[in-house]
Amino acid sequence: MKTAEQPDHTTTDHRTTMVRDLLTDYAGWLLGCGATCIRLEKNLKRIAAAYGQDVEITISPHHVHIYIVDRNDRTVFTSIATAKGATSFDTITRLSTLSWRIADTGIDIRRARRMFDIIVNDRPRHTWVVPPLVALANASFCRLFGGDIQAMAVVFMATLAGYNLKIWLTSMRADLRLTFLLCSFASAVIGASSYLFNLGDTPQIAIGTSILYLVPGVPFLNSFSDMLHRFYICSFGRLMDATVLTACLSIGLCAGMIVMGVGMF
């Protein structure tokens, strides 16, 4: 007489643990890379549903509380994801693509984990070309606001120096607020040289646009998006972060102008 084959609970439990760990790490990276709350919520629910799980999440500015319910035995797991990584639209796009691939093709959890690890561990390529491109973009803003060729050249140099300083301070794990203050100060000092040495006819535009690369546009936009989708706590937190960073770059700008003897009014 044959006995009924018993389900392998060990394998099932291991798979559930892997799904839970993937959701936790996925949430932390997506939040840290600058995704909006609505994208984070939809992506997590999409992945969880593909593996037979239900999730409810509570998002704060730096943490995601995840409640995972197994559809088979209604077991509840709770985990907390901490924001990881820096703002990266490329990582957000690739993680979102992964969520759709999991939902559409039902790939195995182990393969999904390997794909996730490849995405988050992939180092940016051609980083040397980013600072001059940022400087060129900021110089274009200078021209857009009426700056002449001399002002554009000064803004290019100010942005290049400030952005490289930002990269170095970030690598040293300096406080982000201090980083914004020091970078805006350095860029303002270089930008004010156009006024000090009478370079061109629009030195005031050079000074004003030399720090535009530091404006925290992503937190401001995310805050507005979160407010529209009623994630009020995260919206307010991101708005405060952006406001503080804007205040820091303003202080650095004013300090640079004072040091260079440039009047503000």
Collapse the DSSP code of 106 into the 3-class scheme (helix H, G, I; strand E, B; otherwise coil) and give the result.
coil
**Exposure string (b/e) for 37-73, b if CB count within 10 Å is 16 or more?**
bebbbebbbbbbebbebebebebebeebebebebeee
196 in the same domain as 114: no
- Examine residue 265 and state whether it is found in any structural domain, yes or no: no
- Provide the whole-model pTM: 0.85
pLDDT digits (tens, 9 = 90+) for 120-179: 998 877 788 999 999 999 999 999 999 999 999 999 999 999 999 999 999 898 999 999
99 in the same domain as 84: yes
225 in the same domain as 186: yes
137 in the same domain as 109: no
201 in the same domain as 112: no
What is the Cα–Cα distance from 203 to 226, expressed in whole angstroms?
Answer: 38
Which tokens is 14 given?
């291991």
Q: Within its chain, how far is the Cα of 135 from the centroid?
A: 20
Is residue 113 within 8 Å of residue 56, measured between CB atoms? no
232 in the same domain as 138: yes
What is the Cα–Cα distance from 187 to 249, expressed in whole angstroms?
Answer: 10
What pLDDT score was predicted for residue 125?
74
What pLDDT score was predicted for residue 5?
45
80 in the same domain as 136: no
- Examine residue 57 and state whether it is found in any structural domain, yes or no: yes
161 in the same domain as 70: no
97 in the same domain as 172: no
155 in the same domain as 46: no
Is residue 98 within 8 Å of residue 116, measured between CB atoms? yes
Which tokens is 234 given?
């995260």
Amino acid code (one letter) for 166: K
- Examine residue 6 and state whether it is found in any structural domain, yes or no: no
Number of C-alpha atoms within 13 angstroms, CB side, residue 211? 31
What pLDDT score was predicted for residue 6?
47
- Examine residue 169 and state whether it is found in any structural domain, yes or no: yes
What pLDDT score was predicted for residue 197?
86
- Examine residue 69 and state whether it is found in any structural domain, yes or no: yes
- Examine residue 3 and state whether it is found in any structural domain, yes or no: no
What pLDDT score was predicted for residue 1?
41
Number of C-alpha atoms within 13 angstroms, CB side, residue 126? 4
Choose one of 121, 153, 174: the last residue of a domain.
121
Instruction: Output the CA angle 233-224-89, nearest 5 degrees.
Output: 100
- Examine residue 2 and state whether it is found in any structural domain, yes or no: no
Tell which residue, 97, 87, 100, has the closest CA to residue 36.
87
**Which uninterrupted H or E stretch holds 82?**
strand 76-82
- Examine residue 182 and state whether it is found in any structural domain, yes or no: yes
191 in the same domain as 140: yes
- As averages over each run of 10 residues, the pLDDT of the chain (265 residues) reads 46 79 92 93 94 89 86 72 82 95 92 95 84 95 93 96 95 92 96 87 91 93 95 94 95 93 69
User: What domain range includes position 57?
Assistant: 11-121
What pLDDT score was predicted for residue 115?
96
What pLDDT score was predicted for residue 30?
93
Choose one of 72, 89, 121: the last residue of a domain.
121
What pLDDT score was predicted for residue 11?
62
Kindly report the backbone phi and psi dihedral angles of residue 36, in degrees, each rounded to the nearest multiple of 5, phi listed first.
-75, 160
Number of domains in the chain: 2
Choose one of 54, 89, 121: the last residue of a domain.
121
210 in the same domain as 149: yes
